Structure 1
């Protein structure tokens, strides 16, 4: 039964990639809004977790405000998928033209220095679009992807991100190998982007996040210490048709990995607090 379920999921994604890109954008937007609203009404486990996470971000929100934020969050999440199914058909002009940046000079100056750059970011808006933008503006991305089941679905996502211009390394039991490859890319002056607001290894660094205890991966900070590449947090949000990328100040290395990871968490919290509806966190993230 599990194999059949995985096969059905893989076929559903294959069908979506084949069909969604062929429909008019207005039709797809209407359809995905209806799906998002339906999912919120069903109030399944993912929606409940999203609502509880948003309640931590906005503890003073009334029940009605939290309902509206959750509904907007699910629409934002479905927008990510809508764009994922259509991005491979976008031309370079559209990929770049739909991005607006804040404090981009921080990123460009660091990259020009030639020591490589690490960008850590949370699950906000569309990080795939951000990666495609980076590659088309002179900074091809190397990144890591969590392995999915079935393997064929993981292969589809790797192929999708490669088509957008990204190098994708699978996150497996061989963490040292992945770390070593990323370090090589940085020493060659490359650009490494890591989604880093959720610990997948259960070996993450404890951080204070919105006043609650959480864990986040130490990988971005460890790569910075190992290679000397600057670590720059980035946060994303949607503004109408645009994706806005905000680059925060580089993380100081003082205090070691724990202090560096906490500074990343603080930058993430700043961006999430400003645009909570674009934080697609439907998993458990707070330790309690």
Structure 2
């Protein structure tokens, strides 16, 4: 029942929000964000816990203000995403203003293949639409399998309607397909600040250890593709901002594991810089750092022991 309700709510969003006048949709998004923030649920508390590692001198008042702005940013992402399928090519092209996009266009022109690696900042779907409709360049990406399956199918259909090739993170051969696209000179876009597998690379992130996906670095090594970090943020306008950063180069020496570790750390450092500048636009509402993941595992083990004792 919970899965059906979740799927139905997302379906309602795509069916109705895109039909609302834009001022109404924006106001609705802010009201929902503020209501969720006031309830102080697990997602808001987790966001504040994550932000406490990001900002200096994180007083309760500072964290509360940031989490409120963060929920508004997060809900702006959803309101925009529900409406993206109805946007014209001109609207999509004019809604994102990235700096140093020449890193991307020059890389594609060289025929080398390009990997764009992004954190969960602002609206990565909007950035993708700008690429497919604004630049006219298709790309492949990977999506986390969601429950229920019908919700995952809905997300795949949504992103494919925007010109993206969507591969499931598990249950398929995503890596091989991505490598083929890159060797053919194509574009791959990956959200890469949170590891969804057991094979992530440990990195230092805001002074603590976490894991990030190894995929971007390994793909760059195996295919010769250019690896470009990208950071995104909102300002007070209707146009999202972004930065295409200089390439992360493959080290000249070392084992594959050493090269992968070095490149993933370089990505983490660029992500950290962008997040520090715009912490309210980092939509990380899940546990990320190893210390938090270990605490959750310990609680699960304790609960399991209690259940067995009972």
Match of 1:153 in 2: 151
Show structure 1 runs of 4+ deviating over 3 A: none
Where 2:234 maps in the other structure, the secondary structure is strand
1:10 and 2:7 aligned: yes
Q: If you compute each CA radius of gyration, which structure gives the higher value, 1 or 2?
A: 2
Match among 275, 280, 301 for residue 277 of structure 1: 280
Match of 2:179 in 1: 183
RMSD between aligned alpha carbons? 0.9
1:112 and 2:109 aligned: yes
Mapping 1:57-68, distance limit 5 Å: 57-68=54-65
Where 1:101 maps in the other structure, the secondary structure is strand
Match of 2:301 in 1: none
1:260 and 2:263 aligned: yes
Where 2:284 maps in the other structure, the secondary structure is coil
Where 1:123 maps in the other structure, the secondary structure is coil
Report deviation, 1:140: 1.2
Match of 1:28 in 2: 25
Unpaired runs of 5+ in structure 2? Answer: 252-257, 292-310
Where 2:15 maps in the other structure, the secondary structure is helix
Mapping 1:55-94, distance limit 5 Å: 55-94=52-91
Unpaired runs of 5+ in structure 1? Answer: none
TM-score by length of 2: 0.90
Report deviation, 1:59: 3.0
Where 1:138 maps in the other structure, the secondary structure is coil
Mapping 1:224-243, distance limit 5 Å: 224-239=220-235, 240-243=237-240
C-alpha distance in structure 1 between counterparts of 2:137 and 2:268, whole Å: 24
Residues 37-56 of structure 1 deviation map (CA, whole Å, 9 limit, x = unaligned): 11111111110110011111
Report deviation, 1:111: 1.1
Mapping 1:158-169, distance limit 5 Å: 158-169=156-167
Residues 219-252 of structure 1 deviation map (CA, whole Å, 9 limit, x = unaligned): 0000000000010000001122111120111001
C-alpha distance in structure 2 between counterparts of 1:286 and 1:272, whole Å: 15
C-alpha distance in structure 1 between counterparts of 2:220 and 2:3, whole Å: 37
C-alpha distance in structure 2 between counterparts of 1:248 and 1:210, whole Å: 19
Report deviation, 1:13: 1.1
C-alpha distance in structure 2 between counterparts of 1:221 and 1:173, whole Å: 21
Match of 1:103 in 2: 100
C-alpha distance in structure 1 between counterparts of 2:59 and 2:170, whole Å: 42
Report deviation, 1:60: 1.4
TM-score by length of 1: 0.96
Mapping 1:206-245, distance limit 5 Å: 206-239=202-235, 240-245=237-242
Match of 2:191 in 1: 195
Where 2:189 maps in the other structure, the secondary structure is strand
Where 1:57 maps in the other structure, the secondary structure is coil
Where 2:52 maps in the other structure, the secondary structure is helix
C-alpha distance in structure 2 between counterparts of 1:42 and 1:265, whole Å: 32
C-alpha distance in structure 2 between counterparts of 1:107 and 1:20, whole Å: 32
Match of 1:130 in 2: 127
Match of 1:172 in 2: 170
